[in-house]
Amino acid sequence: MPPRTVLIAGAGIAGPTLAHWLTRHGMTATVVERAPALRSGGQTVDLRGAGLTVIRRMGLEAAARNAATQEAGIRFVDDQNRTKAALPADAFGGKGPVADLEILRPELSSLLYEHTRHDTEYLFDDEVTALTDDSDKAHVVLKNRGERSFDLVIAADGIRSRTRDLVFSDTRTRGFGLCTAYFTIPHRPSDGRWARWYNAPGHRSVTLRPDNLGTTRATLS
pTM of the model: 0.90
Q: What share of the chain has pLDDT > 90, as a percent?
A: 80
Distances (CA, A) of 41 to 44, 109, 183: 10, 10, 9
Please give the CATH architecture assigned to the domain spanning 5-59+106-167: 3-Layer(bba) Sandwich (3.50)
Give residue-wise pLDDT tens across range 150-162.
Answer: 999 999 998 888 8
Pick from 116-125, 186-195, 203-212: least confident: 186-195
Radius of gyration of the chain (CA): 20
- pLDDT at position 174 is 84
Give residue-wise pLDDT tens across range 77-90.
Answer: 999 999 999 999 99
CB burial of residue 9 (10 Å; 0-12, 13-18, 19+):
buried
Residue type at position 156:
A
Domain boundaries, the chain: 5-59+106-167, 71-100+175-220
Q: What are the residues whose beta carbons fall under 8 Å from the beta carbon of 215, sequence distance 6 or more?
A: 184, 185, 186, 187
Q: What are phi and psi of 188, to 5 degrees?
A: -100, 150
